[in-house]
């Protein structure tokens, strides 16, 4: 039997999240390893932390896929003198190829999935980053939509907790406020406050909201549900792992003798602890 190669998997991922849809400052794609490497075991994670790489080594992973790129800026050296260098060396030593899908995944997969999680309808893009002229539609980060039923800010926050499987969220605004129109952007969302206001959203669901942004949002009449960076993005691992599993038939189209692949989700937790 022959095996799938890294290139086969990345081609599949890029059907969902094309690399050229990523923001210009981002670093996505195959960052470590060879596109010709044979793949049996895949692991999907939010971050390539030491703990995740240890899991990948233990499970004999061939391809590690993360949301956040471990390598962002150009490096003059790769040594064991810093933690990024040590992680890169660990991947190379254990023959693990490494692929990142960040803002292209935010734009093409996570935004719609997040909106669907809370049941938004009539959605549109919150921030247009480019216009896909071939498909004649706008492409961008975040979504704005309408709840199927009006809720209070408090009940909306409880809905977010439930759908994103969280222990807590932070809420900015009057808990009795009526919520109809919702803006949602996974990850760090302080830069989307103005866009949410311009969209006449009743609430912005996001993460990483700081003190001053919270105060300014209140002054502008925008409620915010801060579900955390990890909290709003950790579902990416299940989203992408299920996508690979559900589309694995495409990898077998031209080769029925090809080995099946195993897709695992890394065990991760929010770096913040609530005491």
Alpha carbon 203 to its chain's center: 21
* Structure tokens, 222: 């925008």
36 is in an annotated binding site: no
229 is in an annotated binding site: yes
CB 48 within 8 A of CB 88: no
Cα–Cα dist 182/201, whole Å: 5
Could you please report the per-residue DSSP string of 21-57?
Answer: GS-TT---EEEES-TT-EESEEEEES---HHHHHHHH
Question: In 10 A of CB 132, how many CB atoms?
Answer: 12
CB 256 within 8 A of CB 250: no
Cα–Cα dist 130/150, whole Å: 32
Cα–Cα dist 10/249, whole Å: 15
* C-alpha distances in Å from residue 42, one per residue of 38, 59, 61, 211: 11, 9, 6, 39
Query: How many CA atoms lie within 13 Å of 44's alpha carbon, on the beta-carbon side?
Result: 23
Cα–Cα dist 23/21, whole Å: 7
211 is in an annotated binding site: no
67 is in an annotated binding site: yes
Question: In 10 A of CB 167, how many CB atoms?
Answer: 9
* Residues flagged as binding site for a divalent metal cation: 67-68, 106, 229, 233
Residue ranges for the known binding site are 67-68, 106, 229, 233
């Amino acid at each position: 039997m022959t095996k799938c190669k890294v290139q086969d998997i990345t081609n599949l991922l890029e059907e969902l999240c094309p690399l050229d849809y990523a923001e210009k400052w981002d670093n996505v794609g195959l960052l470590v390893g060879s596109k010709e490497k044979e793949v049996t075991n895949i692991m999907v994670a939010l971050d390539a932390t030491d703990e995740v790489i240890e899991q990948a080594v233990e499970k004999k992973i061939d391809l590690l896929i993360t949301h956040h790129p471990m390598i962002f800026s150009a490096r003059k050296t790769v040594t064991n003198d810093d933690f990024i260098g040590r992680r890169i060396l660990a991947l190379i030593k254990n023959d693990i190829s490494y692929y990142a899908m960040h803002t292209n995944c935010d734009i093409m997969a996570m935004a719609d999935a997040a909106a669907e999680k809370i049941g938004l309808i009539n959605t549109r893009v919150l921030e247009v980053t480019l216009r896909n002229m071939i498909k004649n539609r706008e492409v961008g980060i975040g979504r704005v939509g309408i709840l199927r039923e009006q809720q209070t800010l408090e009940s909306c926050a409880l809905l977010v907790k439930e759908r994103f499987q969280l222990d807590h969220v932070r809420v900015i605004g009057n808990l009795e406020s009526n919520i109809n129109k919702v803006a949602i952007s996974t990850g760090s969302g302080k830069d989307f406050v103005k866009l949410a206001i311009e969209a006449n959203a009743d609430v912005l669901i996001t993460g990483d909201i700081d003190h001053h942004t919270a105060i300014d949002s209140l002054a502008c009449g925008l409620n915010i549900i801060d579900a955390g960076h990890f909290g709003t993005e950790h579902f990416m691992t299940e989203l992408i792992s299920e996508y690979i599993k559900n589309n694995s038939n495409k990898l077998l189209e031209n080769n029925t003798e090809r080995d099946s692949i195993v897709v695992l989700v890394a065990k991760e937790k929010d770096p913040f602890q609530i005491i």
